[in-house]
Chain A
């Protein structure tokens, strides 16, 4: 198992390399669900420093974007980029038609929720994938144990919640007459009556919402060690938080098989809590419901408590 990291700049690349991070993910011109984009020149420069570089070509693309998108993929094929992270099967189809040899890592954020689907996709040219993080850990592990392609599991950082093609900040600004910041990370939203704060930001591809709380799985590394990559999302992290987080996970992983593991977990958990950043456990031990009867039963039970 290797550490994988989404980075939005190269400021601490050497530190991350020293910490043993092997896979780096950056967004190029056509990347989405990110706040920073790397130019082709920057990606080319990164390929010289990083062995396993993956580029996010992970939007859902309109027809009129295809020409530029395909030119971008052609350009990536000229570089030593190891893989493409995608969710639009139009990207996979083009790569297949051109015979490019990228590791095609499928990451639709929400859809990879069972092994059969992933094994089916493996026959279509998908060569690796992210497992959805909106399912319990037990299901994630079951997927890992029954899937034939390398899998990535998010273990730390903010969690994807929603993306829209609409300009949901600008539209509100127009409707309300309020001037709002468009700097990612500044604006947050919270459903009225619910204590759950989310980052909401808008760019040329639309609006994306992430949890403000960071997923925390430091104490579960032994359970998830079978995954091929353990992913840390550094989006919205300050440089110090990113460094501390990556260091905590890499150092703990280094002691996975020795007697000091428990001690490292405890100490780094304390350290991360001292950063005063809200943490949560995502869906690790909580399954979702969807049958109307289950929803009614749960709502009634909550009312009675």
Chain B
């Protein structure tokens, strides 16, 4: 296992910084993830990937994504994590070759056939074992290591105590751990609720999220939850290990994964930026790092469910599940993306993303600086006509702001509770 920290000029610094791996549901999200600090992004192709509802990438899109990511020193991982059926077998070899030719850095795979096929083709890309295989122990990791796999993504059920032991027992293979995002209620890959209830194949990207539905409950055919009772459901709060990043860095995890290929641009920017800042701050001076609640509060701005720590400590309790949809809440509203800033005129050019109006207080967040706040006093359209409201999606507008902002900074409306 690589050395995690070193004393440099009398100060301990982290030298084995984990990769921050972010989801990319489309090219725009990929670019934002990279610009906001992701060391690597993962995306799905049109075939062989889960999350069929995400706007998955064509080979041309992947190529553009790879070129952009590599230019910014980030890697691209492509999910090939469906469980293959007979009618999915054709074309997989050609697809893997094409990904390798494009320069994709790694594929994330669940099906052992694809794992071994990729290795037999002597490709340059790495092969990572998907979380769909629910790998929870060192013996299973040794199995994959013996097959030549380069990395194993832990099942989300792996506790921190177990992770520490596994890291010691398996020092020579990359280990990836989920730190943030939605959680399957079942062992990944072992849930067929969607298949039975709606004939949509969960293991090929068609999951209908039936674990989050409401159910009637019966004891010996007698219904036990009536009207007014808490409905039976199985959904989980979302995981956020923001307060445990230091322990995970110190135990030598190679990659921190953020879930959410179907999440919004706002989510990607907020979550990546927050974890980037946290990881960098800790690694720069771990001995004097003080955890601030700013990080968690920042993440909450893009969250639509309450947070939990998943299996980090042990089994999630009732408090970590979502009953009666309690703890689901709207995110703070994402209203603009900066596309230019004229320092002389102190005027930013923005792309409207959601309704806002004069008088609204806006929080700008950025990979380059701390968040800044201002009140919208004037809005101009492209014809330089002043308007009171911004109510046309993607409209280009100009707003005076006397603090420097950067291209691709994002603005969200400040909500006063």
Contacts and interface: CB of A to CB of B under 8 A. Distances in A.
B217 A189 contact: yes
B375 to A, nearest CB: 41
Interface string A60-71: 111111100000
14 contacts: A62-B157, A90-B136, A110-B189, A114-B89, A114-B113, A115-B86, A172-B321, A180-B219, A187-B218, A187-B219, A192-B214, A288-B204, A290-B52, A292-B53
A60 B229 contact: no
A139 B318 CA distance: 40
A94 interface: yes
Interface in A38-69: 60-66
B89 A116 contact: yes
A110 to B, nearest CB: 6
A114 B221 contact: no
B200 A166 contact: no
A289 B204 CA distance: 8
A124 interface: yes
A287 B135 CA distance: 28
B140 A197 contact: no
B52 A291 contact: yes
- Overall SS of chain A's interface: mixed
A266 interface: no
Interface in B19-35: none
Contacts of B203: 110-111, 113
Contacts of B321: 166, 171-172, 175
B163 to A, nearest CB: 8
Contacts of A174: 317-318
B245 interface: no
Interface stretch (B205-213, B248-256, B365-373): B205-213
B166 to A, nearest CB: 5
A77 interface: no
Contacts of A14: none
A153 interface: no
Given A60-B155, A196-B197, A191 B213 contact: yes
B138 interface: yes
A295 interface: yes
Interface in A159-185: 159-168, 170-176, 178, 180-181
B84 A64 contact: no
Nearest to B145: A93
Given A64-B165, A134-B195, A290-B205, A113 B157 contact: no
Contacts of B216: 189-192
A12 interface: no
A172 B236 CA distance: 12
Contacts of B323: 172, 175-176
Given A90-B137, A110-B192, A286 B214 contact: no
B165 A289 contact: no
Interface string A206-227: 0001010000000000000000
Interface residues of B, number: 81
A139 B206 contact: no
Contacts of B219: 180-181, 186-187
Contacts of A161: 191-193, 196
A60 B134 contact: yes
Interface of B: 52-53, 82-86, 88-89, 111-113, 115-117, 133-144, 146-147, 155, 157-159, 161-162, 165-166, 185-187, 189-193, 195-197, 199-201, 203-206, 210-211, 213-221, 224-225, 229-232, 234, 236, 311, 315-318, 321, 323
Given A60-B187, A161-B196, A113 B84 contact: yes
A294 B161 CA distance: 43
Contact of A91 (B117, B139, B159, B195): B139
Given A92-B143, A93-B140, A191 B53 contact: no
A108 interface: yes
Interface of A: 60-66, 88-94, 108-111, 113-117, 119-121, 123-124, 134-135, 139, 142-143, 159-168, 170-176, 178, 180-181, 186-192, 194, 196-198, 209, 211, 283, 286-292, 295
B195 A114 contact: no
Given A62-B159, A64-B165, A161-B192, 19 more contacts: A88-B140, A89-B143, A93-B146, A111-B83, A113-B203, A114-B88, A114-B113, A120-B115, A123-B116, A124-B112, A159-B196, A161-B193, A162-B191, A162-B193, A166-B236, A188-B218, A188-B221, A288-B199, A292-B52
Contacts of B117: 120
A172 B318 contact: yes
A180 B186 contact: no
Contacts of A124: 112, 143, 147
A66 B155 contact: no
Contacts of B197: 191, 194, 196
Given A114-B84, A139-B86, A288-B206, A62 B190 contact: no
B185 A168 contact: yes
Contacts of B146: 93
Nearest to A118: B113
B190 A109 contact: yes
A166 B82 CA distance: 24
Contact of A190 (B88, B113, B143, B218): B218
B367 to A, nearest CB: 32
Contacts of B147: 124
A12 to B, nearest CB: 24
Residue of A134, A139, A166, A192 most packed against chain B (CB within 10 A): A166
Given A166-B316, A189-B218, A117 B187 contact: no
Residue of A93, A173, A181, A187 most packed against chain B (CB within 10 A): A93
Nearest to B56: A292
B143 A90 contact: yes
Contacts of A94: 139
Contacts of A109: 190, 192
A162 B192 contact: yes
Residue of B146, B195, B213 most packed against chain A (CB within 10 A): B195
Nearest to A64: B162
A113 B85 contact: yes
A62 B136 contact: yes
A159 B197 CA distance: 13
Contacts of B224: 178, 180
Contacts of B315: 165-167
Contact of B138 (A66, A168, A171, A191): A66
B224 to A, nearest CB: 6
A189 B215 contact: yes
